[in-house]
């Protein structure tokens, strides 16, 4: 996302001044100090970008800017989804910690079968956060490293 802030008393900036490598990214033009020009606070949809007219000094249009930034970033406007995701992550991290602590006990007791199971649960909990958990990969690693059930 590209945010380009300019003074309402000036002309809109020429987008050719933007550095290369930003092609395809959403561009949000932010026209600030509209109180000095008597422009209206709000949103204007231009050809390839959105222009927001705000007055940061008097906090006019700032909520609109926050809302647009959230929409472009793919966040919910209420923020509840973000909070729930964070709570879910915390629960998963706490569960992983319990499993790792149990694995350390099994390591001290030379109980490799139980150690493998605790590590499996820890990896599963962490994988629920990252989305990268593959039980086949982990089981392959466990069975290649431990002799379970013999």
Residue 105 falls inside a structural domain: yes
Q: Which of 25, 40, 73 is the last residue of a domain?
A: 73
Residues 100 and 63 in one domain: no
Strand, helix or coil for residue 79: coil
Q: What is the pLDDT, as a whole number, of residue 3?
A: 84
Residues 105 and 121 in one domain: yes
CATH number at residue 28: 3.40.50.300
| Rounded CA separation 114/148 (Å) | 9
Residues 56 and 93 in one domain: no
29 closest CA partner among 63, 68, 77, 74:
68
- For 63, the token pair is 């909520």
Q: Which of 73, 88, 108 is the last residue of a domain?
A: 73
Q: Would residue 79 be called left, alpha or beta, if left means φ above 0 and alpha means ψ between -120 and 50 degrees?
A: left
Contact 70, 77 (CB under 8 A): yes
Quote the domain boundaries for residue 112. 80-145
Residues in the chain with pLDDT < 70? Answer: 73-86, 131-150
Q: What is the pLDDT, as a whole number, of residue 52?
A: 92
pLDDT tens-place string over residues 41-59: 988 887 778 889 999 999 9
Q: What is the pLDDT, as a whole number, of residue 77?
A: 47
Question: Based on the structure, what is the number of domains in the chain?
Answer: 2
Residues 40 and 88 in one domain: no
Q: Which of 49, 73, 97 is the last residue of a domain?
A: 73
């Amino acid at each position: 996302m590209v945010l380009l802030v300019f003074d309402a008393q000036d002309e809109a900036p020429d987008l050719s001044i933007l550095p290369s490598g930003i092609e395809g990214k959403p561009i949000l033009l932010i026209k600030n100090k509209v109180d000095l020009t008597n422009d209206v606070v709000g949103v204007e949809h231009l050809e390839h970008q959105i222009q927001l007219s705000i007055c940061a000094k008097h906090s006019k249009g700032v909520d609109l800017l926050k809302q647009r930034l959230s929409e472009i970033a793919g966040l919910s406007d209420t923020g509840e989804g973000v909070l729930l995701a964070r709570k879910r992550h915390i629960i998963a991290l706490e569960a992983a910690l319990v499993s790792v602590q149990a694995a350390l006990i099994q390591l001290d007791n030379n109980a490799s079968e139980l150690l493998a199971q605790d590590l499996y649960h820890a990896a599963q909990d962490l994988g629920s956060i990252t989305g990268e958990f593959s039980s086949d990969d982990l089981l392959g690693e466990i069975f290649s490293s431990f002799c379970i059930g013999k």
